[in-house]
Copies of this chain bind each other. A is one copy, B any other.
Amino acid sequence: MSKIRIAVDAMGGDRAPYEIVLGALEGAREHDIDLILVGPQASVESEVAKLDTSSLDLQIVNAPETIEMGEHPMAAVRQKKDSSIVVGTRLVKDGRADAFLSAGNSGAMMAAAFLLLGRITGVERPAIGTVFPTRDGKVFLIDVGANVECRPQHLRDFALMANIYVQQVLGVPVPRVALLSTGEEDEKGTPTIQEAHALLRGAEHLNFVGNCDAKDIPLGFADIVVSDGFAGNIVLKMGEGTAEVVLQLLKREMLHNTMTKMAAMLLKPGLKRMLRRLDYEEYGGAPLLGVNGVSIISHGRSGQKAIRNAVGVGKRAVEHNLVQLIEREMA
């Protein structure tokens, strides 16, 4: 049997191309896949030349254009047909790659997946999920930005798709599913949330544990938290921002004087463990759920480690037939 083939956008993300290419090569080796790097031929070749590619089955596919972070997603995808995001997504559509991953413009990734791969039958709104660290484990948030406004049945669909992803790819046998609201009481939240609550309560195949408050998320109240993309984006960003600020304040106190610097040295292994726990790079990225193909969206700030891990996410999504399982669930 031939290996799984994963295409990586060499130009996507704040740290492209060097760290992306490095992470992709490491990921290919670690996860034993065939790698396709997508980007301007000469630039990608010169990056690859700096690195060790021994024992790798590596191919470069030329994509001379690049979609920048600030560009309007749909317009950019329509106009820049030779961009890495469009070319990479087309590789999946044409069956030349099993998955495509990018840390570039996530809106453009979504637009390309919509236009080229299309939606799975029964899915009105594909959604972006992401894995987020909690105190003692992790949570899968969906949607974190694809749909700023949602109807109740969209939220139910997100839960069903996420349930398959978390079971199959993250290996949680019976994920606890919660609906984000302003409190745990059933009647809290907007009319949309109240209706979604009833739909989730009635959904077979789901271990729905009720509404959750944002405060419950970092404590690990659920394995899956469902919300529209506006609220989900706020959860994600507020979590990242707050953790960063608390750590900055801690660092400031540790640099206070000789005694505190000594304390920081004694705590170093523990702090490292803690940072690793809070590090989104551990999770690499997450697929756009609901499209006809595996399209992995990584954080714009992804470095080498995130991309290496995102290659693993892509491999597991392909191995576990994520698209086919979602198709069956939503039929």
**Which residues 221-256 of A have a CB within 8 angstroms of B?**
229-231, 233-250, 253-254, 256
Asked if residues A234 and B237 are in contact (CB atoms below 8 Å), the reply is no
Cα distance, A21 to B221, chains bound together (Å): 34
SS of A interface (majority): helix
A278–B267 Cα gap in the complex (Å)? 22
A219 at the interface (CB under 8 A from B): yes
- Given A190-B149, A234-B234, the answer on whether A253 and B241 have CB atoms closer than 8 Å is no
Residues of B within 8 A of A270 (CB): 253-254, 256, 260
Which of B189, B233, B274 contacts A182 (CB under 8 A)?
B233
A277 interfacial contact with B, CB 8 Å: yes
Question: In the bound complex, what is the Cα–Cα distance between A185 and B145 (angstroms)?
Answer: 14
How far, in whole Å, are A262 and B263 apart by their CA atoms in the complex?
7
Q: Give the size category of A's interface with B.
A: 35 or more
Chain A 175-216 per-residue mask, 1 if CB under 8 angstroms from chain B, else 0: 000001010010001110000000000000000000001111
How many copies of this kind of chain does the complex include? 2
> Does chain B have a CB within 8 A of A134?
yes
A267 partner residues in chain B, CB cutoff 8 A: 253-254, 260, 263-264, 267
Whether A148 is near chain B, meaning CB under 8 Å from some CB there, is yes
Q: Which residue on chain B has the smallest CB distance to residue A268?
A: B263
When the two chains form their complex, are residues B262 and A266 in contact, meaning their CB atoms are under 8 A apart? yes
Residues of B within 8 A of A152 (CB): none
Is the CB–CB distance between A241 and B264 below 8 Å? no
In contact, A215 and B238 (Cβ under 8 angstroms): yes
A238 to B259, Cβ gap below 8 A? no
Point out the residue from B214, B237, B278 that lies within 8 Å of A246, measured CB to CB.
Answer: B278
Report 19 cross-chain contacts, Cβ distance below 8 Å, ordered by A residue.
Answer: A70-B185, A134-B245, A135-B245, A149-B190, A182-B233, A182-B237, A214-B234, A219-B244, A231-B231, A235-B238, A238-B242, A239-B242, A243-B246, A246-B246, A249-B277, A259-B266, A262-B266, A266-B266, A267-B267
